[in-house]
């Protein structure tokens, strides 16, 4: 398998954490790319019409995207039973995944407002609205922190962990831990997992 990736993408990190948890990391070749919201990378676009990472290329040439599909595919081949549980627990895990992914979507939009738009076209109220969503998601994580797993995580905990890690990476000024001690305590334990330590984001 080949993965079109960017080392700073939180959605790529989510896939890589799942690959680590499934014992599949050594079976994935990383293909560097230049994913950008304004400039299409032809290397990605050849496999994904949205030209976004992560995009997984299977041995038969089939392409899978986005992170939700890729993570479930990896789990279907060799998965801890808890990553995508069955029954009512599945819907809970998928809802937690939506919470983590939603936090990331809002955080990325807030970041793009300042790094992708020229100053004359920036819309501060839009950025603040996105950060408001981020804060609401962190508050929800804080309220549910006592129920979140660490040693046997579902895809929901993986998504939330990668989302909080992205806030540390790109939004340290938010100081999200100050008002959310339960989420901070859970994340301290979760971030110590080998799969999280092996996928800490960094600038290329």
CA distance 70 to 76: 10
The DSSP line for 99-128 is HHHHHHHHHHHHHHHHHTS-GGG--HHHHH
Mean pLDDT of the chain: 95
pLDDT band at 204 (very low <50, low <70, confident <90, very high): low
Position 164 in a domain: yes
Of 38, 57, 77, which residue is a domain's last?
A: 77
How many domains does the chain fold into?
2
Position 15 in a domain: yes
Of 30, 54, 77, which residue is a domain's last?
A: 77
What is the rounded average pLDDT of the residues 69-87? 90
Residues ≥6 apart with Cβ < 8 Å to 100: 14, 137, 156, 158, 159, 160, 161, 162, 163
73 and 94 both lie in a single domain: no
Position 83 in a domain: no
51 and 98 both lie in a single domain: no
pLDDT (0 to 100) of residue 104:
98
> What CATH code is carried by the domain that includes residue 51?
3.40.30.10
- pLDDT tens digit sequence for 97-139: 999 999 999 999 999 999 999 999 999 999 999 999 999 999 9
- pLDDT tens digit sequence for 140-149: 999 999 999 9
3-state helix, strand and coil shares in percent for the chain, rounded to the nearest 5: 60, 5, 35
56 and 100 both lie in a single domain: no
Position 72 in a domain: yes
Residues ≥6 apart with Cβ < 8 Å to 116: 37, 38
Q: Which two tokens stand for residue 58?
A: 């299977």
pLDDT over 90 percentage in the chain: 92
Position 200 in a domain: no
Position 203 in a domain: no
CA distance 123 to 185: 34
Q: In terms of residue numbers, what domain contains 60?
A: 2-77
103 and 68 both lie in a single domain: no
């Amino acid at each position: 398998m080949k993965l079109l990736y960017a080392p700073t993408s939180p959605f790529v990190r989510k896939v890589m954490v799942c690959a680590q948890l499934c014992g599949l990391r050594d079976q994935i070749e990383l293909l560097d790319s230049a994913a950008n919201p304004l400039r299409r990378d032809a290397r990605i676009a050849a496999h994904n019409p949205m030209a976004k990472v992560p995009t997984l290329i299977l041995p038969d040439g089939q392409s899978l995207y986005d992170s939700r599909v890729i993570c479930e595919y990896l789990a279907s081949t060799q998965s801890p039973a808890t990553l995508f549980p069955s029954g009512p627990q599945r819907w809970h895990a998928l809802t937690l995944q939506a919470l983590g992914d939603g936090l990331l979507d809002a955080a990325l939009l807030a970041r793009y407002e300042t790094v992708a738009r020229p100053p004359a076209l920036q819309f501060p109220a839009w950025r603040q609205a996105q950060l408001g969503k981020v804060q609401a998601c962190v508050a929800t994580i804080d309220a549910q922190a006592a129920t979140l797993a660490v040693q046997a995580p579902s895809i929901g905990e993986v998504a939330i962990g990668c989302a909080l890690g992205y806030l540390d990476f790109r939004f340290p000024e938010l100081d999200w831990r100050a008002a959310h001690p339960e989420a901070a305590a859970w994340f301290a334990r979760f971030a110590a997992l080998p799969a999280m330590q092996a996928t800490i984001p960094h600038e290329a």
